């Protein structure tokens, strides 16, 4: 039987998402398993392959139909060797993910960074529309990025391509970042960064509405901030304006570097939809060379949690087609 099946795997710090997808991009099955981070994540590859074997068996799909497995993993990856240099959330260091999974399965395995893989997925089956040049931005706990240029993932010299959350955007008195530096884009435009700015407003005592939400719920989320801005709260409006101005500047500067046809915004914060896109596009136009803006659509991601597994499957397809 001809090979027609792709396996997409998206490894996160809490769960691993797996999917069986055919070459045309039809989702045959998807499921999650727990990421066991005990013993520096040593059992993760076995857990993945065992769960895939069971599912293939249930679906009566023989191993001979599988073209390959494409894996997105968090951290810094060397795509050529499939070695995960560092994945802090899992405990991997110089972990030979590709080699281990190939030994277990006997199937070709391709590995890249999870944000890059998600970009590939959005471009294949989501909002990207299969353009040759695109940027995917994830606004979640942090700010992630994936870039496709000339149809290829930009992994860079040591797997640190598209780490746009660590662009320096505040040069004086920037907030501390997880990377140990200050003023990174992530400190401003991530959910964490947005909430921090709201907390600062509350501490200053200049937003009774934010204070009230805080008192009611014991916490503030980005959803609250967008809601209050929608209701006309000045502090919330200013926070969103500042965040989108800063993000628009960063995206305009990335865009004049890689000249994308699409910028796809995903992650939890992107659920704000038009309320986010409106001010973001305005800032982008303000800071971007007109010809860059002419070429570029900014859109919300479509695939949510499935972007990674679609991207993994597409990575296999890309490697197969280029051979």
Least distance CB 228 / its own copies (angstroms)? 26
Residues 202-241 that bind its own copies (CB under 8 A): none
Binds its own copies by CB under 8 A, chosen from 55, 125, 166, 213: 166
In the bound state with its own copies, the residue whose beta carbon lies nearer, of 49 and 95, is: 95
Nearest CA to 228 out of 253, 194, 181 is that of 194
Binds its own copies by CB under 8 A, chosen from 15, 168, 178, 221: 168
Least distance CB 302 / its own copies (angstroms)? 20
Least distance CB 149 / its own copies (angstroms)? 5
Please give the Cα distance from 8 to 294 (Å, whole number). 34
Task: Provide the strand spans (E) within 35-161.
Answer: 66-73, 76-78, 83-87, 92-95, 109-113, 134-139, 143-149, 152-153
Q: Which helix (H) or strand (E) holds 7?
A: strand 5-11
Lay out the site mask for its own copies across 253-272 (x = CB under 8 A, - = otherwise).
xx-xxxxxx-----------
Written as six digits, the tokens of 169 are: 């955007």
Residues 138-157 that bind its own copies (CB under 8 A): 145, 147, 149-150, 152, 154-157
Binds its own copies by CB under 8 A, chosen from 163, 224, 233, 306: 163
Q: Does 303 bind its own copies (CB under 8 A)?
A: no
Written as six digits, the tokens of 314 are: 């597409």
Q: Judge whether 134 and 121 are in contact, CB under 8 Å.
A: no
Binds its own copies by CB under 8 A, chosen from 132, 230, 231, 234: 132
Please give the Cα distance from 161 to 132 (Å, whole number). 17
Nearest CA to 308 out of 17, 14, 5, 6 is that of 17
List residues near its own copies by CB under 8 A: 76, 131-133, 145, 147, 149-150, 152, 154-164, 166-168, 171, 179-181, 249-250, 252-254, 256-261, 287, 289-292, 294-296
């Amino acid at each position: 039987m001809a090979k027609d099946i792709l396996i997409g795997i998206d490894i996160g710090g809490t769960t691993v998402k797996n999917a069986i997808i055919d070459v045309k991009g039809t989702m045959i099955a998807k499921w999650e398993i727990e990421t066991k981070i005990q013993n520096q994540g040593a059992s993760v590859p076995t857990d993945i392959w065992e769960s895939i074997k069971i599912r293939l068996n249930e679906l009566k799909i023989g191993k001979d139909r599988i073209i390959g497995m494409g894996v997105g993993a968090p951290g810094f990856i060397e795509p050529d060797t499939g070695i995960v240099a560092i994945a802090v959330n899992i405990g991997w260091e110089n972990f030979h993910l590709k080699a281990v999974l190939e030994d277990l399965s006997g199937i070709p395995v391709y590995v890249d960074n999870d944000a890059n893989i998600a970009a590939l997925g959005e471009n294949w089956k989501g909002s990207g529309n299969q353009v040759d040049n695109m940027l995917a931005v994830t606004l979640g706990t942090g700010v992630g990025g994936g870039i496709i240029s000339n149809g290829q993932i930009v992994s860079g010299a040591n797997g640190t391509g598209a780490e746009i959350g660590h662009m320096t955007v505040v040069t004086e008195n920037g907030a501390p970042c997880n990377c140990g530096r200050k003023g990174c884009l992530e400190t401003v435009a991530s959910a964490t960064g947005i909430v921090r700015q709201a907390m600062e407003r509350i501490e200053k005592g200049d937003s009774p509405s934010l204070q009230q939400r805080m008192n009611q719920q014991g916490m503030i989320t980005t959803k609250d901030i967008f809601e209050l801005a929608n209701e006309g709260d000045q502090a919330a409006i200013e926070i969103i304006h500042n965040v989108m101005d800063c993000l628009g500047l960063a995206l305009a500067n990335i865009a004049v570097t890689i000249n994308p046809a699409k910028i796809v915004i995903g992650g939890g914060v992107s659920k704000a939809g038009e309320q986010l896109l409106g001010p973001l596009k305005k800032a982008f136009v303000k800071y971007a060379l007109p010809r860059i803006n002419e070429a570029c659509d900014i859109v919300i991601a479509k695939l949510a949690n499935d972007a990674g597994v679609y991207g993994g499957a597409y990575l296999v397809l890309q490697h197969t087609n280029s051979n």
